[in-house]
Amino acid sequence: MFGKSENELVGNRFIPLVHPEDRDITLKEMEKLYTPPYTCYIEQRALTVNGWKWLGWIDKAITDVHGNVIEIIGNGRDITDKKMLELELNKNKDFYVKSNIVKSKFLAELSHEIRSPLQTVLNSSNLIQTKIECKPESELNELFGLINSSGEKIICTINSILNMSEITLGIYKPIFKEINLKKEILDVLIPTYKHIAKQKGLLLQIDTTANINNIKADSYGVTQIISNLLDNAVKYTIKGNITVSLFEKDNKICLSIKDTGIGIESDLINHLFDAYKSDNLSYIKKFNGTGLGLALVNEYCKINNAAIEVDSVLGKGSVFTVIFNN
């Protein structure tokens, strides 16, 4: 490994050959040779005839009957290629993390810049609509409806991007308190989604069997979890029904949302919660979406110490179950 003869090495101290930045850790690791089990593993840079090389050493101390070290046997090998690969991977990881932060900041700034003028456009559209007397069958009414619905979709997308950016950048500050899951969240959300479902010819029903409805959680985060799951249930269900169930299992409060929608391919379930990955789910692309909804659900579940489970059959529907541990 060193490219030196036995005579050049035997009887000489090894430490001078070790890279100056690695000497302290080498000496510290070698202290382990003087206490049971009298072994140590060291990774260090050492000077060879071909320059600095990374070496990995497994050292074993030989002791006498009194436990005194009388000899040290070292088995070393060249691990330069391994260390170079590790360093490259760490470099790429750092680059990925920094790039992700830059992307999140950019998306957040862009979203803020878009949302304000878009809200102005929507408000102006509503004002114009109230000033113009249109017959129910007028094309203007249909046009105003398209403007408002399209604008609301864009606002919803922008809010999702902003929420994900806050979480990615670590600036989202949850507020944990005791909340009544049914009264404070479900009873507020369900009427709206019942109306949306009814417009699609779907039946949305709620089934609550839980005796205890209180959880300690971040109200906004839990609202986002349920809203996104309901959004998907309504979006991906063409006919049939959606059932929201609140129940207890193993002394934990659980909430499930079951639909009779398009379902999910089994080999794609593991990628459901990846952000910006809707393109992987090619068979649902016609329904539109940013690929952020379930990613946000997953992140808000983590924040609220909740688990999420998925059971789905392609062509028959899906069940998403959130288990609250607090």
Over residues 3-31, mean pLDDT: 82
Q: Taking the domains of the chain in order of start, what are their residue ranges?
A: 6-78, 100-169, 176-324
Residue 135: pLDDT band (50, 70, 90) is low
- Taking only the tens place, the pLDDT of each residue in 58-104 is 999 999 888 888 988 888 888 888 888 888 887 777 776 676 666 66
Q: Are 306 and 324 in contact (CB under 8 A)?
A: yes
Average pLDDT over all residues of the chain: 81
- Residue 108 has a pLDDT of 63
Residue 279 has pLDDT above 70, yes or no: no
> Which residues make Cβ contacts (< 8 Å) with residue 216, sequence separation at least 6?
176, 177, 178, 179, 326
User: pLDDT: is 179 or 293 the higher one?
Assistant: 179
Residue 325: pLDDT band (50, 70, 90) is confident
The rounded distance, in Å, linking the Cα atoms of 214 and 249 is: 14
Residue 213: pLDDT band (50, 70, 90) is confident
For the domain made up of 176-324, the CATH class stated in words is: alpha beta
- Residue 309 has a pLDDT of 92
Q: Is the pTM of this model over 0.85?
A: no
- Fold of the domain built from segment(s) 6-78: Beta-Lactamase (3.30.450)
Residue 137 has pLDDT above 70, yes or no: no
- Residue 322 has a pLDDT of 94
- Taking only the tens place, the pLDDT of each residue in 230-252 is 988 998 899 999 999 999 888 88
